[in-house]
Structure 1
Amino acid sequence: MPLIEHMSDADLERLALDRVVPALLEQGFFYLDNFLGDLVGDVVLEQVEHLHGSGSLQDGRLVGRTGAGTPLGTPVPVPVPQPPGVPGRNVRGDKIAWVNGAERGCEAINYLLTLMDKLISKCGGRLGKSVIRERSKAMVACYPGNGSGYVKHVDNPNSDGRCVTCIYYLNKHWDAKVHGGILRIFPEGKSYVADVEPLFDRLLFFWSDRRNPHEVQPSYATRYAITVWYFDSEERAEAKQRFRDLAASTQKQGTSST
């Protein structure tokens, strides 16, 4: 496909409505290759490698089903229940940092986010009942290549507002037979799985809710990705209200106990 930065608004809208939307509605996922091109993609990769090398990436964490202790603006996927005895460090092995793109040294990442936003905006109101007006910060993630992965999980199992998961991959010369690291999607109600290799300059979309449990298979080379979540406005507003109600109730209980 043409590089997205060189596409006219009409071509971009055609891409969104003829390819992205139908694929999401029919199979629940879709990916584009050659999204930024080598030149810009290389700069994004350099900035991600710098974040990693500077120590900005911290161990990814897990939360309970209620998301207790996690700020509402920080979406954290929740694992599908695992057999007893599976330690948390074996559930999720990535290191992450949250960025909004305005940070010094993240200019190319911000440019990537701008183009992703532009493409999603062209999907308009065609994504079922979802109306998308905002997204999360970007989660820059690295699997360090020691066989680490992420067990089967759902990004949004509890109606927190996340509608579409969007992942940009940054891995040059990736050979899944050697390096592993495949994202395997288990589309709800389907008899097949979908394996997506984390190839350089590939952009992947899929539904964030229970329609798409997925896993990151063990990676044996350094594996980089940038993920954002686009929010359904109505569900997000309801989630924020639940969070405010919970916070008020907790505060009231604390006051009563003093």
Structure 2
Amino acid sequence: MTKVTLLLQEAIYEQAALEIAEQGYSIIDGFLSAAEVDSILQAIHAEEANGSFSPAGIGQGAGFQRNRNIRRDYIRWVNHAEPPVSCIPYFERLQALIRYLNRTCYLGIRDLEMHFAVYQPGGFYKRHLDVFQHAQSRKLSAICYLNPNWVTADGGALKLYLPREDGTENTITVLPEAGRLILFESHAIEHEVEVAHRERCSITGWLKDEVQFF
């Protein structure tokens, strides 16, 4: 990696840190290249063909349930310590970003929890928060989208509900465009995935301040 590349990368990370501190979220376009996106999509489709995906649920432990009125996506968990070869650039880049955020924002992120997420046409996830009632280790939600040539008519947008100090809220809508990474505060920002009209893929997960043991 050249000195110029490192400086550009650090500038992107600095902007992300400022945005998270100021508004609770940050969007980084071009986090993955088109070739990297295509490689990961090939891995996802191979996993789909092998039957490795399962319907996603809500809740944790004894409270876990699958409710198709709340969410209709399919997931396959990814071991970030030994990811598929196609995902190595993503996790290396994400770890570099985490190191920067820990150094500058003192987030204390120590672990990742990641999965592939696939929404088939008609899939959605209603408004929710990314933390469990008795587990607060998720600090930032991280979603990297893998959808080339996505347009508004394809649906599947991420809608963030941003609280204001006066008790009202603002909303922003984010298209799941290929290579785009979005980070947002897991404990503070409610969000939903609008109905997708074509297959919608991502690497989705959380940056946590506790190490997860299996």
Could you state the TM-score of these two structures normalised by the residue count of structure 2? 0.87
Select the residue among 225, 229, 233 that pairs with 2:206.
229
Structure 2: distance between partners of 1:62 and 1:6: 44
Mark the runs of 5 or more structure 1 residues left unpaired by the alignment. Answer: 71-75, 79-86, 241-258
What secondary structure, in the 3-state scheme, does the structure 1 residue paired with 2:104 have?
coil
Does residue 123 in structure 1 map to residue 105 in structure 2?
no
Structure 2: distance between partners of 1:62 and 1:206: 19
**Inter-CA distance 213–55: structure 2 relative to 1 (3 Å threshold):** same
Structure 2: distance between partners of 1:26 and 1:135: 23
Q: Which residue of 2 aligns with 1:27?
A: 23
Structure 1: distance between partners of 2:159 and 2:2: 29
Structure 1: distance between partners of 2:110 and 2:182: 19
Which runs of structure 1 show a deviation greater than 3 angstroms over 4 or more consecutive aligned residues?
A: 4-11
How far apart are residue 7 of structure 1 and its match?
Answer: 6.2
Counterpart residue identity of residue 98, structure 1: W
How far apart are residue 41 of structure 1 and its match?
Answer: 1.8
Counterpart residue identity of residue 202, structure 1: R
- Report if the CA contact (8 A) 1:12-1:122 is conserved: no
Structure 2: distance between partners of 1:175 and 1:15: 25
Select the residue among 140, 149, 156 that pairs with 2:124.
149
Q: How well do the aligned residues superpose, as a CA RMSD in angstroms? A: 2.6
Does residue 175 in structure 1 map to residue 171 in structure 2?
no
How far apart are residue 226 of structure 1 and its match?
Answer: 0.5
**Inter-CA distance 7–198: structure 2 relative to 1 (3 Å threshold):** farther
Q: Which residue of 2 aligns with 1:48?
A: 44
Q: Report 1 or 2 for greater relative contact order, CA contacts < 8 Å, sequence distance ≥ 6.
A: 2
Counterpart residue identity of residue 155, structure 2: G
Mark the runs of 5 or more structure 2 residues left unpaired by the alignment. Answer: none
- Report if the CA contact (8 A) 2:101-2:107 is conserved: no
What secondary structure, in the 3-state scheme, does the structure 1 residue paired with 2:194 have?
strand
- Report if the CA contact (8 A) 1:13-1:123 is conserved: no
- Report if the CA contact (8 A) 1:95-1:141 is conserved: yes
Structure 2: distance between partners of 1:163 and 1:217: 23
How far apart are residue 168 of structure 1 and its match?
Answer: 0.6
- Report if the CA contact (8 A) 1:98-1:139 is conserved: yes
Q: Which residue of 2 aligns with 1:140?
A: 116
How far apart are residue 39 of structure 1 and its match?
Answer: 1.6
Structure 1: distance between partners of 2:99 and 2:4: 15
Superposition map of 1:197-216 within 5 A: 197-209=175-187, 211-216=188-193
Q: Which residue of 1 aligns with 2:136?
A: 160
Q: Which residue of 2 aligns with 1:37?
A: 33
- Report if the CA contact (8 A) 2:163-2:170 is conserved: no
Q: Which residue of 2 aligns with 1:11?
A: 8
**Inter-CA distance 5–175: structure 2 relative to 1 (3 Å threshold):** farther
Q: Which residue of 2 aligns with 1:110?
A: 88
**Higher Cα Rg, which structure:** 1
